[in-house]
Amino acid sequence: MRRPKVSIIGAGNTGAALAHWLATKQVADIVLVDVVEGMPQGKALDLMQAAPVEGFDTILTGSNDYADIAGSAVVVITAGAARKPGMSRDDLVNVNTGIVRDIAAQVARYAPDAYLIVLTNPLDVMCYVAYKVTGFPKHRVMGQSGILDSARFRTFIALELGVSFEDVHALVLGGHGDSMVPLPRYTHVGGIPITQLLPPEKIDELVRRTRDGGAEIVRLLKTGSAFFAPGAAMAEMVEAILRDRKRVLPVSAYLEGEYGESGIFMGVPVVLGGQGIERILEIELTDEERAAFARSAADVRETLAKLDL
């Protein structure tokens, strides 16, 4: 049986990291697409030459032609300008709107049946751009945000407690930005709520570090942004779709009344499977949590208002 095709638009650090993680899962053959001649071809060839060492059979190819995404089951957009120190994700809105708009038009032309995952920042707004330009149904357009934000929260908790990363489960909702909403009430270690393991002031400190997680890496790198963890998070989404795993994951999804919001993409828990976003799960929020979610939505709407589609 022929493997499905996953196309990654943008062969920079994040696109290459996604290709790396995805190749080892052996769920699809991979096409890396970029406007820079030779770069996607070189990275695809380099990755494929690791196959004999790592024991995978994934076929990777590179291309500068969008026509090569034809027949893709999933398309992931990672292309776009990266943050520099001192920049917020929203600072990228003008340049990246044009990039995502042009890519989305090519996806609609060459891969009209694909599921579309967006990573480009500002994430929730770029999801909206892709959704409007492609005209795809809402269950086939989504953004990678909450998986990465939750992974960062989980990492900081595990390091603080000295426990396995695998045993920490967390949930982060809202926009993928400074107003994201980590939920300590829904965060536990081996089934034990972190509220029983850490004092409130320490939890608040970890929440702040989670919100600043991407910016912290940008400050350290000075010439780029995170790519290993974002790539791994996207690979988890692609695998959930292609293997119809029905994973409960926080992703950026188009809301139509859920959590009191409509007409925007926001990070919420969903069931992700062979039909894409199969349903959005509405969980009970306290008044304080709901207010934080509403503030995050307001931030997304403020950035949306700057768009010229």
Residue numbers annotated as active site: 176
10 belongs to an annotated ligand binding site: yes
Indicate the residue type of 63: S
Q: Is 89 flagged in the annotation as binding?
A: yes
Angle at 278 between CA 141 and CA 16, to 5 degrees: 45
Q: Measuring CA to CA, how many Å separate 225 from each of 83, 84, 85, 113, 235?
A: 6, 8, 9, 31, 18
The per-type count for the chain, helices as H runs and strands as E runs, is: 10, 14
Residue 12 counted as an annotated binding residue: yes
155 known ligand binder: no
CB 68 within 8 A of CB 31: yes
According to the annotation, is 83 in a ligand binding site? Answer: yes
Tell me how far apart the alpha carbons of residues 82 and 95 are, in angstroms, rounded to a whole number. 10
Q: Is 15 annotated as a binding residue?
A: yes
Nearest C-alpha neighbor of 218 from the set 118, 90, 82: 82
| Residue 42 marked ligand-binding | no
Q: How many angstroms separate the CA atoms of 122 and 129, rounded?
A: 11
The answer to whether the annotation marks 152 as part of a ligand binding site is yes
Q: Is 64 annotated as a binding residue?
A: no
34 is in an annotated binding site: yes
Which residue numbers belong to the known binding site for substrate?
83, 89, 121, 152
Which residue numbers belong to the known binding site for NAD(+)?
10-15, 34, 96, 119-121
Which residue numbers belong to the known binding site?
10-15, 34, 83, 89, 96, 119-121, 152
